[in-house]
Amino acid sequence: MSTLHAPILRWYDRHQRDLPWRSADASAWGVLVSEVMLQQTPVARVLPVWAAWMERWPTPAALAAEPTGEAIRMWGRLGYPRRALRLHAAATAIEERFDGRVPDTYEELLSLPGVGDYTAAAVASFAYGARHVVLDTNVRRVLARTVAGHEFAGASVTAAERRLAEAVLPTEDAPLWAVASMELGALVCTAANPRCGACPVADQCAWRLAGSPAYDGPPRRGQAWAGTDRQCRGRLMAVLRDADGPVHRTVLDGAWADAEQRERALAGLMSDALVEQVGPDTYALPG
């Protein structure tokens, strides 16, 4: 597998994006925040929010001292705002259990609220230089194409896929390999319209050499938005984030016309601890 490493690492050296959480002086906390924000969200949208977040809360202790509602407010329009709650819970656990320092082992990172396999492996690798398989969507697609010969990886990580990633993982420079293969998937080996002519390993890509066969696995789910409960929730959250205090139900009524869907979305937001009812007809972000 070393035939993949050298060309991809050379490509990364020339084409890597200058991202603040990759800088030499980035803190482990900054890396953790970036990894949570980047889940299902493009880099361009994350950059300004990450910068504002790190300016306000440069340490886990700083965030843990604030109400969860402030984390939700700062999350803005990144989407999936439960991630803000998970970061707040992780910051609180780091402060209480690890003396305010982001833990450096995969096992300890995995013990934090809301931190799963990928995030634990990514932080241990990128913040502390540990050797772990880091399988995000981009890395999985690169390995599926270059090694397994499939257009896309499956819906979830399988044991066979993890064994393949382990086999490819270099003994040295494992964190560099992880970020380089991730970047290749983000910029060249993209899900739609991959730029095979710019790929440093196109000459050994199993999928390309097989004639780029079309994906024949289970149907891939799209990301519908217009008219969905997710869009309704987003509208209600926007009203609450922009308010200086509690919001009356009539204001929320004006944010979404479908009353049944609006009530369902509001109930879901309260169930997810993203919204509190603070009066008979008033609502606010958590205090």
Catalytic residue (one of 35, 151, 161, 183):
35
Q: Are 273 and 279 in contact (CB under 8 A)?
A: no
To which residue do tokens 């308010």 refer?
Answer: 243
In a 3-state reduction of DSSP, which class is residue 27?
coil
Task: Reply yes or no on whether 35 is catalytic.
Answer: yes
Strand partners, 283: 247, 277
Strand partners, 277: 283
Strand partners, 279: 282
Give the count of beta carbons closer than 10 Å to the beta carbon of residue 52: 12
Helix-helix angle 259-271:229-242, to 10 degrees = 70
Q: Are 132 and 179 in contact (CB under 8 A)?
A: no
Residues marked as catalytic: 35
